Amino acid sequence: MTILGVLVTALGTLGLPQALPAEAAGWRPSAPAARYDAESIFQYIDGLGEVYRAYGMTTCLAGRYAGPPGEGDIVVDVFEMPSSAEAFGLFSHSREGEAADVGQGASFGYGTLAFWKGRHFVSVTAEQDDPRAREAVMALGRAVAAALPGGGEVPALVARLPAEGLLPRSVVYLLHPQILNTHVQLGSQNVLGLGPTAPAVLGRYERGGGGGVLVIAEYPGPEAAKAAVLGFAERFQAGGRGAWRSEDGYYASLALPGAGNAVAFVLRAASREMAEALLAEAAAKGGQP
């Protein structure tokens, strides 16, 4: 029987498989799979539990596989998220290794395969990274991906990032200031007012030997957008219109919200010209800000 033949695809109301593959390249379950919710996840993944909660995880199905003699275990974690936007966001938060053809987007490196599909994020990790384990990791990942239902769309906000100079693997979709601070430090306060109803996308740029970070956030209403503008200006001691040199020696800037509720923020730009160009291009790309 093939791997897919032994994978249960009855998904129930949670959308997660009732069982994980019974075998993959010589690795077999060492215990029944366990389920965790947004509270009990800390019993399983203490250090990273807040990251999964920041993206709104609802359920995690976790399985451990024992390998042939001399090989380490492989751990499979399948997270169900509220929607495909959060699943993509969780995947985008940490991409290590090379792109892989699994699910709707995947990275594979250092013994770990990570991918998203629909409203699910999947991590498959070999505790001992060697060629045989890597083969099993990929087999497990493909089996899980084939069993998960449906597909999903990359959040529309991602398309608002200008293409020129964008480092594709730097793109992060987020809904929590904790995730933003992982990628660009703004301090402990939620300066941009991010949250489940105020998502953002971040991208890093390299142009002409200089870099910069562009963040575009979309707010539920004009008051929230204006509050974010004021908070950002106060944090970086805005000195008037246009870009200004911040205390870290780089340039920061923002675009005042227009008729819509999106705001673009530039951080750590190498020059005033780059900061202002990124804002202008963000406006041209999406009509707002």
The pLDDT tens digits of the residues spanning 156-213 come to 999 999 999 999 999 999 999 999 999 998 888 898 999 999 999 999 999 987 899 9
- State the CATH class of domain 4-147: alpha beta
Predicted pLDDT at 253: 86
- Residue whose entry in the numeric block shows the structure tokens 């939620």: 190
Q: What is the pLDDT of residues 53-77, one digit of tens each?
A: 999 999 999 999 988 888 889 999 9
What HEC string does the chain produce?
Answer: CCCHHHCCCCCCCCCCCCCCCCCECCEEECCCCEEEECCCHHHHCCCCHHHHHHCCCCEEEEEEEECCCCCCCEEEEEEECCCHHHHHHHHHHCCCCEEECCCCEEEEECCEEEEEECCEEEEEEECCCCHHHHHHHHHHHHHHHHHCCCCCCCCHHHHHCCCCCECHHHCEEECCHHHHHHHCCCCCCCCCCCECCECEEEEEEEECCEEEEEEEEECCCHHHHHHHHHHHHHHCCCCCCCCEECCCCCEEEECCCCCCCEEEEEEEECCHHHHHHHHHHHHHHHCCC
User: What's the predicted TM-score (pTM) here?
Assistant: 0.87
CATH code 3.40.1000 region(s) in the chain: 4-147
Residue 31: pLDDT band (50, 70, 90) is confident
Nearest to 134 by CA among 94, 170, 98, 95: 98
pLDDT-derived band at 114, boundaries 50, 70, 90: very high
State the pLDDT at residue 161: 94
pLDDT over 80 (residue 247):
no
Q: What is the mean pLDDT of the chain?
A: 85
The pLDDT value recorded for residue 85 is: 96
Distance of CA 117 to the CA centre of its chain: 13
Alpha-carbon gap, residue 220 to 162, rounded angstroms: 23
